[in-house]
């Protein structure tokens, strides 16, 4: 019997180029958190480079765990793992509250280790949430993932630095538009392998076009060392402070919620629906990767939603392709010069490609919603309100400014708030109480008329 496309091993060249395409799509997301946190601490350029390389290295290790798996660890789906951006705000808050800045990273690392271990133990319980994710919920969440990522692409298109005079300039937006056009033309007028690596080719061509405009900076390559290794506990042994641990545990819950939604989304896209066992294994990979990451000076890891768009667009579903991407990440962590090659890609060029990638995720969500019986008022309300709640942090970033910082970790994530809203509304409209006239419209994974205990619903009295 032929292997499922998820388990297919492609030829070496195709594996390498498509794996590199995944790295290019998520590189900016991995390096941004260490750059922000490192700048808040006031790290030297050397230490900042070291911290960034460490995050790339640990992202590669976490990706191996997720794609290849060991024992009951790893979803064995084409997931790229990297530093979760949800942790940036609480980590910078920890930095701000630490009197001696040299202790900031050890405190962060200690908190991440504890949060990762607790999350690993909680994974078998947390995965039970899958029964609360029928198509009306998963479709809404997948759509929100794409919508939430699009502003990132728009920000990239404007340039790397919001304070720079050329931020949002016609040149930057033009480079983004040209890159988008190149990707679209390649997808429309080519076939086979070239069509599948259209995003990677778009990034390469866009970078070359950007050279005459002075938007391509080769300084990172010239300044980078050839070999480097993220020495364990380079910044000091981990320290364990209760407030920091609680803060990172909240981030872990948010991360696990988003990873569950991502796994459900990717399962639909690759035609291997994620069941409880897959989600539990995926969450174990996320949390164990997070617990191990600080040993090599990395931060909390989680699945990267932007790469789901790449899978959806290219139709390359092999987890070994993403594992190859993990190999590139490890290589970049060990070879700063290799990492700097990806850094050469101008941010506007990355933004142009991002529009296609992230828009593809939203389109996949809409495809899932088609199966959600939207001709029923209950489901229309669930989608309408959940999308509205999830879009709040995107359209009004300061909406929750008066809330405590801990609460904002959850509230400022449109994916998390929209996911929670969709699950709760689905329970209220389609499962709680008896005699619900629309209960029969609810489909997999929680069956029609099923109560929260899993018992069949008693027939209504005549």
* Greatest CA separation for the chain: 80
Question: pLDDT at position 119, please?
Answer: 92
Average pLDDT (241-258) is 80
Question: pLDDT at position 446, please?
Answer: 41
Confidence of residue 64 (pLDDT cuts 50, 70, 90): very high
How much of the chain exceeds pLDDT 90, in percent?
A: 19
Question: pLDDT at position 460, please?
Answer: 39
Own/partner pairs, 195-201, CB within 8 angstroms, 24+ separation: 196/14, 196/18, 196/314, 196/315, 196/316, 197/17, 197/18, 197/21, 197/314, 198/314, 199/21, 199/24, 199/25, 199/310, 199/313, 199/314, 199/353, 199/356, 199/357, 200/17, 200/18, 200/20, 200/21, 200/24
Cα–Cα distances (Å) from 354 to 76, 168, 227, 302, 380, in that order, read 25, 16, 30, 19, 29
Rounded-to-integer distance, Cα 190 and Cα 392, Å: 39
Average pLDDT (348-366) is 82
Question: pLDDT at position 135, please?
Answer: 81
Look over the chain and give the mean of its residue pLDDT values, rounded to a whole number: 81
Question: pLDDT at position 11, please?
Answer: 86
Average pLDDT (153-178) is 89
Rounded-to-integer distance, Cα 122 and Cα 245, Å: 16
Average pLDDT (432-444) is 50
Q: Is the pLDDT of residue 438 over 70?
A: no
Question: pLDDT at position 353, please?
Answer: 84
**Domain layout of the chain by residue ranges:** 5-428
Rounded-to-integer distance, Cα 142 and Cα 170, Å: 32
Q: Is the pLDDT of residue 451 over 50?
A: no
Rounded-to-integer distance, Cα 313 and Cα 316, Å: 8
Rounded-to-integer distance, Cα 149 and Cα 306, Å: 7
> Hunting for tokens 């209960």 — which residue is that?
439
Confidence of residue 220 (pLDDT cuts 50, 70, 90): low
Confidence of residue 442 (pLDDT cuts 50, 70, 90): very low
Q: Which of 286-300, 334-348, 368-382 has the highest mean pLDDT?
A: 286-300
| Torsions phi, psi for 49 (to 5 deg) | -65, -40
Confidence of residue 389 (pLDDT cuts 50, 70, 90): very high
Question: pLDDT at position 156, please?
Answer: 83
Average pLDDT (340-366) is 79
Average pLDDT (22-46) is 76
Question: pLDDT at position 28, please?
Answer: 66
Within 10 Å of residue 35's Cβ, how many Cβ atoms?
A: 16
Rounded-to-integer distance, Cα 429 and Cα 439, Å: 8
Listed range (52-56, 61-65, 147-151) with the worst mean pLDDT: 147-151
Cα–Cα distances (Å) from 235 to 105, 231, 239, 251, 300, in that order, read 7, 9, 11, 22, 16
Q: Is the pLDDT of residue 110 over 60?
A: yes
Confidence of residue 190 (pLDDT cuts 50, 70, 90): confident
Rounded-to-integer distance, Cα 140 and Cα 367, Å: 10
Listed range (106-120, 248-262, 269-283, 406-420) with the worst mean pLDDT: 406-420
Question: pLDDT at position 224, please?
Answer: 67
Question: pLDDT at position 433, please?
Answer: 64
Cis peptide leading into residue 445 (ω within 30°): yes
Question: pLDDT at position 83, please?
Answer: 84
Q: Is the pLDDT of residue 443 over 50?
A: no
Average pLDDT (189-202) is 77
Average pLDDT (193-219) is 82
Question: pLDDT at position 2, please?
Answer: 60
Average pLDDT (12-18) is 86
Question: pLDDT at position 209, please?
Answer: 94
């Amino acid at each position: 019997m032929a292997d499922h496309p998820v388990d297919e091993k492609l030829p070496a060249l195709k594996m390498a180029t498509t794996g590199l395409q995944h790295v290019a799509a998520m590189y900016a997301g991995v390096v941004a958190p260490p750059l922000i946190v490192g700048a808040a601490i006031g790290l030297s350029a050397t230490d900042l480079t070291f911290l960034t390389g460490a995050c790339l290295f640990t992202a590669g290790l976490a990706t191996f765990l997720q794609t290849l798996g060991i024992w009951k660890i790893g979803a064995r789906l084409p997931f790229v793992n990297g530093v979760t951006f949800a942790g940036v705000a609480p980590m910078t808050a920890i930095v701000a509250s630490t009197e001696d800045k040299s202790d900031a990273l050890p405190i962060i690392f200690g908190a991440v280790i504890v949060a990762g271990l607790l999350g690993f133990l909680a994974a078998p319980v947390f995965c039970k949430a899958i029964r609360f994710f029928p198509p009306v919920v998963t479709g809404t969440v997948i759509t929100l993932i794409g919508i939430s990522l699009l502003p990132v692409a728009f920000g990239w298109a404007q340039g790397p630095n919001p304070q720079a005079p050329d931020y949002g300039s016609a040149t930057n937006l033009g480079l983004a538009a040209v890159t988008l056009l190149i990707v679209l033309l390649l997808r429309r007028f080519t076939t086979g392998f070239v069509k599948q690596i259209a995003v990677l080719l778009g990034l390469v061509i866009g970078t070359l076009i950007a050279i005459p405009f002075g938007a391509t900076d080769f300084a990172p390559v010239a300044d980078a060392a050839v070999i480097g290794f993220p020495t364990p506990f380079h910044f000091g042994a981990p320290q364990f402070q209760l407030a920091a641990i609680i803060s990172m545990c909240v981030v872990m819950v948010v991360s696990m919620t988003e990873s569950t939604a991502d796994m459900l989304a990717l399962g639909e896209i690759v035609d291997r629906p994620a069941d409880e066992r897959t989600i539990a294994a995926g969450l174990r990979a996320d949390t164990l990767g997070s617990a191990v990451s600080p040993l090599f000076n990395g931060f909390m890891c989680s699945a990267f939603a932007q790469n789901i768009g790449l899978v959806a667009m290219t139709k390359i579903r092999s987890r070994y392709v993403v594992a190859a991407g993990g190999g590139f990440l490890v290589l970049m962590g060990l070879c700063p010069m290799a990492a700097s090659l990806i850094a050469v890609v101008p941010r506007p060029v990355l933004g142009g490609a991002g529009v296609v990638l992230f828009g593809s995720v939203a389109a996949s969500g809409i495809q899932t919603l088609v199966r959600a019986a939207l001709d029923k008022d209950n489901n229309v309300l669930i989608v309408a309100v959940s999308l509205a709640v999830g879009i709040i942090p995107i359209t009004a970033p300061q909406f929750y400014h008066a809330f405590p910082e801990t609460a904002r970790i959850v509230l400022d994530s449109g994916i998390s708030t929209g996911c929670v809203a969709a699950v709760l509304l689905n329970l209220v409209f389609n499962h709680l109480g008896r005699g619900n006239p629309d209960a029969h419209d609810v489909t997999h994974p929680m069956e029609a008329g099923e109560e929260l205990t899993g018992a069949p619903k008693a027939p209504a009295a005549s």
